[in-house]
Structure 1
Amino acid sequence: MTGEKRIGILTSGGDCAGLNAVIRAVVHRATLTYGWQVVGIKQGTMGLLSRPVDYEVLDLDMVGSAMMRQGGTILGTTNKGNPFAFPMTDGTLKDRSAEIAGGYRELGLDALIGIGGDGSFAILRKLAQQCGINLVGVPKTIDNDIGLTEVSVGFDTAVAVATEALDRLQPTAASHARVMVLEVMGRDAGHIALAAGIAGGADVILIPEIPFDIDRIANKIRQVRNQGRNFGLVVVSEAVKTADGKELQREYLGGEKRFGGIGNYIGEQIANATGAETRVTVLGHVQRGSMPSPRDRLIAAAFGVHAVDLIAEGKFDRMVAWSNREVIDVSIEDAIARYQAVELDGALVKTARGLGICLGD
Structure 2
Amino acid sequence: MRVGVLTGGGDCPGLNAVIRAIVRKAERHYGDTVVGFLDGWRGVLEGEFIELDVERMRGTLPRGGTVLGTSRFSPRMYEDGMERVRSTMENTGTEALIVIGGEGTLSAGVGVGEAGAANVVGVPKTIDNDIGLTELTFGFDTAVEVATAAIDRLHTTAESHDRVMVVEVMGRHVGHIATWAGIAGGATLTLVPEEPFDINAVAETIVRRHERGRWASIVVVAEGAQPKEGTLELPEPEVDQYGHVRLGGIGQVVATEIEARTGFDTRVTVLGHIQRGGTPSALDRVLCSWYGIAAIDAVHDGDWGSMVAFQGGEMVRVRLADAVVELKPVSPALYDVARTFFA
TM-score w.r.t. the length of structure 2 is: 0.95
Give the match for residue 180 of structure 2.
195
Give the match for residue 352 of structure 1.
338
Write out per-residue CA displacement over residues 95-119 of structure 1, whole angstroms, 9 at most, x where no aligned residue.
3221121011111111110001111
2:123 paired residue among 116, 135, 138: 138
Deviation at 1:208, TM superposition (A): 0.8
User: Counterparts in 2 of 1:128-277, with a 5 A limit?
Assistant: 128-243=113-228, 244=230, 248=235, 250-251=237-238, 257-277=245-265
Distance 1:152 1:163, change over 3 A: same
Gaps of at least 5 residues in structure 1 are 87-93
**Cα distance between partner residues in 2 of 1:253 and 1:95:** 23
**Cα distance between partner residues in 1 of 2:320 and 2:203:** 43
Work out whether residues 82 and 117 of structure 2, in 8 Å CA contact, stay in contact via their aligned partners in 1: no
Write out per-residue CA displacement over residues 75-126 of structure 1, whole angstroms, 9 at most, x where no aligned residue.
00111x332233xxxxxxx332211210111111111100011111111111
Deviation at 1:219, TM superposition (A): 2.5
**Cα distance between partner residues in 1 of 2:76 and 2:108:** 8
User: Counterparts in 2 of 1:311-322, with a 5 A limit?
Assistant: 311-322=299-310
CA-atom RMSD, angstroms? 1.7
Deviation at 1:253, TM superposition (A): 7.3
Q: What is the percent sequence identity of the aligned residues? A: 45
Give the match for residue 340 of structure 1.
328
Answer yes or no: is 1:297 the counterpart of 2:297: no
Give the match for residue 53 of structure 2.
59
Give the match for residue 82 of structure 1.
74
Work out whether residues 3 and 97 of structure 2, in 8 Å CA contact, stay in contact via their aligned partners in 1: yes
Give the match for residue 89 of structure 1.
none
**Cα distance between partner residues in 1 of 2:307 and 2:99:** 9
Partner amino acid, structure 1, of 2:286 = L
**Cα distance between partner residues in 2 of 1:240 and 1:115:** 27
Work out whether residues 319 and 332 of structure 1, in 8 Å CA contact, stay in contact via their aligned partners in 2: yes
Write out per-residue CA displacement over residues 137-182 of structure 1, whole angstroms, 9 at most, x where no aligned residue.
0000011111000011111111111111101111111111100000
Distance 1:246 1:339, change over 3 A: farther
Answer yes or no: is 1:309 the counterpart of 2:297: yes
Partner amino acid, structure 2, of 1:287 = Q
Work out whether residues 267 and 279 of structure 1, in 8 Å CA contact, stay in contact via their aligned partners in 2: yes
Give the match for residue 73 of structure 1.
66
Partner amino acid, structure 1, of 2:68 = L
Work out whether residues 116 and 139 of structure 1, in 8 Å CA contact, stay in contact via their aligned partners in 2: yes
**Cα distance between partner residues in 2 of 1:280 and 1:196:** 16
After the TM superposition, which parts of structure 1 deviate over 6 Å for at least 4 consecutive aligned residues? none
Work out whether residues 85 and 117 of structure 2, in 8 Å CA contact, stay in contact via their aligned partners in 1: no
Deviation at 1:226, TM superposition (A): 2.6
Give the match for residue 34 of structure 2.
38
Work out whether residues 249 and 257 of structure 1, in 8 Å CA contact, stay in contact via their aligned partners in 2: no
**Cα distance between partner residues in 2 of 1:248 and 1:142:** 26
User: How many residues get paired?
Assistant: 340
